[in-house]
Structure 1
């Protein structure tokens, strides 16, 4: 008998066995196995290339003997954050011994899914929506169990990342003036920042845009001052991963010409836009997982103006900037979602 014919007969035989077992379940000759969820997922091994998710289900076989149907019995799992499929996988060829047993399924977060999730995360106002799905089945369509779908929402009404950037922008609030000799008399030259904050702009898989908004007043009585800085420095680190940074004139202005000035005793609203590369977002995500889903955010923003031969740095010192923390509970059991990142209060009323 030829090899192909033997294989064909073997395949037909397996299908017959599967069909007979399914029929036995349906007619009550065999007790149908049941299944349930023990844990919708725990973080496993984290490497530079992938992040493991381990899901555990229980399966109860009421029959006095085990069930083995090669690849016909399996468990499938899917993890979705903000509607983006981060990890999907299955384990087939599951042996079901008599009685109760547990099955671990390992799936892996795809690095190429992190950037689309970041887009959804920012667009959802930094709220994390978790959905985890599991199914145990037999290949012929007989479903052993549709395991409960896990749904969870985290960081609702919290925006830790943009709040941290807003706090750094707000650190520029205050007076930055000097008395200069014009040759005729002494005059006040400089700036007063009445308010500073940040907001998200357009975000794609490749880039993230942040808008920095300022209410800037010219406290001088004679000379106008530039409304647009010579340079803008911005950095955001999360768990010591430099997520985004920009220096110098790598920014755009919104509704303000670069040559625009603020007249004496006048106040102007200006917006500076920084577009940054998302290449380090997956590095931060892995650090967040390794750190039990805790992230320390460090931000720094500084404007540099030049006028009348003087340089003004807002804020004055290159300090550590603003630091805060947030934590999630995607896979960490019994952990509360929390953050101490908060929106700034303006030190000077408009």
Structure 2
């Protein structure tokens, strides 16, 4: 029911059959742009929609969308809005995803809240069980600073046919019932008023009393409607009784009510069953002679819809199980009494008792009770008196006139064939037939004539027959012509048919007509969720812009109806929007990042469509209510905001951004002390650094070698090995500008072996053996460097130890001193 819903909903879901969602073209490294050409373009289309899980709170719709992207990678969001008769059921946006080149699919799950179903139902009934489902799909595709938003919409109408299901089953009750005591014909069901709490349905059952002399009371008319075993309708007549006169028809009318809170329970079972509902309608009548609440029939069938399911739509009927209780011998209710043997009067005033009527209501061919002893009637074996003396002439016997008609009642124009073929003459032949027809219908002079009655009324017809001796006999019959059951013709007119909201329109149904001249009701439905109005002339105000198909329904006295539609176009007032551009901050030094906000902009019609920002910096625009831009060059920038509404009315506002230049800081690095023997503790100081137009926010030290650097205006470090070390200072000011400088630290060292100092005293008598014999030295502790020469001291590899000179070299050095 709620129909090809969808694709859509809730995560999105995009109802049934949403067409291509807009087209994008993109070359590698470029931003996609909209195009009408399908070649080399990116597009979105709906592949499939199906129902998901049905819970106590919601009904899920699953939508599969295909995205074709032949050119470039971009970021994407997809938004979906689904409405029914203008009432929004779902609005959702997917999370942003990266769409790679090629073709990909995505499944979107959305939830229809069951709490929203009764409100939609009101509009559905007011539109004659018809809903227009509108699905709007839009994409937000972006790359860099630019974006584009293709969109599409799809409209679909669908029907539920619950009223037609009821009408179809009421038709199953028609015909002769209860031993032909009553006849039910022309049953009908139609919707009445509907509000947020309940839905009214009006049931009409015309009942004819077939008894020729007795009244029949109908003391109750009750019944029920179940869909998938959900009881939607349960009714009982409010009247104490209907008294139906002999041979007359009276329409029993019931106003039953559906609790709208039960609709979502039924719809949930309907969707679980694949958009199919089994229904059962039971009808009971309390008829005087039949006993209390005699069930006439129980009918069943199935109702299918095609929202997201491939069904054959509409109601079907499985059949009715008819109940025909026996007629009781007597029944007494107040003044009413059905006698055991009711008496039927014949036209010749002879009497036949009820006992002589067979079970089918047919009079017997009994000569004791029929005119002329039953002679010459069908079934009589004698055509005359065979015992009479053929040679003895007697007095002339009169002929017997019998007038018959192929039908004695009907609606105009009614064609009736009058037949005198059963007339007879006992002792001769009939020479002449004369038909006298009341009213403008011409008379006739043959055994069989055909006449057509154009207008309603009762027509007395007399047949006269004359035999060959001039004797005459007459017979009469009455033809009852009812007004033709012709449907009315609805003609809806409106003035004006278009204009700006709010629009007041006068509606006129005076051009409608009915061939029988008996229009009973005019009902106007305005397609805007308002209640229907009744009357030949009505006025209605449309508050919101849109296209409204206003339906006129005309009903005649017999329940026949016709509809006509007039379209009203309500335009939004041509009020331009008001643009308000705000920025924070509005001034500062390069590089300056500024946030822009258009949320204070407004539109009298509340239909802002687009926001566009132009930044006056030689780069492209940005779109959206909010935007951010970083200005890297000094200068004054007039940033312009353009706001556009749905009618393409625009307004602009400008905000000025002042961007100042920034002088870099001056880095000054000092080391104290800057030289000394290892281990050497050094304090690095940047306190003399400065910034001419701001403040220094960060100090970073980078030190050569294994000594770590650090952060801060001053740091302390210890150097444990000899060498020259360069320390670099980097300072950054409050606008991101930076400067750097360096300072050098000279660390001097002494020879060490296993942490023992070897003093090269020139007065010391050293021999190579003396070094080798030291208890703390060994060849492993003081290995001979492969780079050592007799006349030099060379640093040994990557070791922090120094190689020793040979003993002879030490002596030489001492002697030289």
* Closer, same or farther: CA 27–261 of 1 in aligned 2, 3 Å: same
Among residues 147, 150, 154, which one is paired with 2:154 in the alignment? 150
Match of 1:238 among 203, 211, 227: 227
The structure 1 segments of at least 4 consecutive aligned residues displaced by more than 6 Å after TM superposition are 25-28
Task: State whether structure 2 residue 122 is matched by structure 1 residue 119.
Answer: yes
d(CA) in 2 for partners of 1:349 and 1:197? 20
Picking from 91, 99, 104, the partner of 2:102 is 99
Cα displacement (A) at 1:94: 2.5
Structure 2 SS opposite 1:121: helix
Q: What is aligned with 1:131?
A: 134
Distance 2:292 2:56 in 1: 43
Match of 1:338 in 2: 313
- The answer to whether the 8 A contact 1:130-1:330 is kept is no
Judged with a 3 Å threshold, the aligned counterparts in structure 2 of structure 1 residues 296 and 143 are, in CA distance, closer, same or farther, namely farther
Distance 1:102 1:284, change over 3 A: same
Partner of 2:30: 30
Alpha-carbon offset, residue 61 of structure 1: 4.6
Structure 1 residues 84 and 324: CA distance shift in structure 2, 3 A: farther
Distance 2:31 2:285 in 1: 72
- Change over 3 Å in CA distance of 1:223–1:91 after alignment to 2: same
In the TM superposition, residue 49 of structure 1 has moved relative to its aligned partner by: 1.2
Answer 1 or 2: higher relative contact order, Cα 8 Å, separation at least 6. Answer: 1
How much does 1:277 deviate?
1.2
Kindly report the root-mean-square deviation, in angstroms, between the aligned alpha carbons of the 2 structures: 3.5
Counterpart residue number, 2:161: 160
SS at match of 1:220: coil
The answer on whether the counterparts of 1:76 and 1:90 sit within 8 Å (CA) in structure 2 is yes
Instruction: Provide closer, same or farther for how the CA distance between residues 53 and 169 of structure 1 changes in structure 2, counting only shifts above 3 A.
Output: same
Cα separation, partners in 2 of 1:120 and 1:94, compared to 1, 3 Å: same
1:88 — aligned with what?
91
Count of paired positions: 287
CA separation in 1, counterparts of 2:289 and 2:98?
A: 81
**Between Structure 1 and Structure 2, which shows a larger proportion of helix residues?**
1
Match of 1:55 among 50, 59, 63: 63
Give the whole-Å Cα distance in 2 for the aligned partners of 1:217 and 1:27. 80
The reply on whether 1:323 has 2:300 as its aligned counterpart is yes
Q: Give the structure 2 partner of residue 173 of structure 1.
A: 174
Deviation at 1:206, TM superposition (A): 1.9
The aligned residue for residue 303 of structure 1 is 285
1:206 aligns with 2:206: no
- Bigger CA radius of gyration: 2
8 Å Cα contact 1:32-1:61 kept in structure 2: no
How big is the shift at 1:62?
5.2
Contact 1:221 1:265 (C-alpha < 8 Å) held by counterparts: yes
Q: Is the 8 A contact 1:115 1:281 kept in 2?
A: yes
Q: Is the 8 A contact 2:223 2:281 kept in 1?
A: no
Cα shift at 1:313: 1.9
* Normalised TM-score (structure 2): 0.32
Residues 1:45 and 1:105: Cα distance change in structure 2 (over 3 Å): same
Q: Is the CA contact (8 Å cut-off) linking 2:52 and 2:62 kept in structure 1?
A: yes
Mapped partners of 2:104, 2:295: distance in 1: 63
In structure 2, what is the Cα distance between the partners aligned to 1:279 and 1:165? 20
Q: Is the 8 A contact 1:223 1:264 kept in 2?
A: yes
2:150 alignment partner, SS class: strand
Q: Deviations over 1:58-114 (max 9, x none)?
A: 3345565x445xxxx421112333443333222132332343333332221121221
| 1:61–1:96 CA contact under 8 A, matched in 2 | yes
**Please, which runs of 5 or more residues in structure 2 have no aligned partner?**
1-24, 34-41, 320-408, 412-817
Counterpart CA distance in 1 for 2:187 and 2:31 is: 67
What's the TM-score once normalised by structure 1's chain length? Answer: 0.68
Where do residues 252-271 of structure 1 align in structure 2 (5 Å cutoff)? 252=238, 258=240, 260-271=242-253
Instruction: Note if contact 2:67-2:103 (Cα within 8 Å) is conserved in structure 1.
Output: yes
Say which SS state the counterpart of residue 92 (structure 1) adopts.
Answer: coil
Task: Please state how far the C-alpha of 1:36 moved relative to its aligned partner.
Answer: 1.1
Q: How much does 1:165 deviate?
A: 1.5
SS at match of 1:205: coil
Partner of 1:219: 210
Q: Aligned residue for 2:77?
A: 74
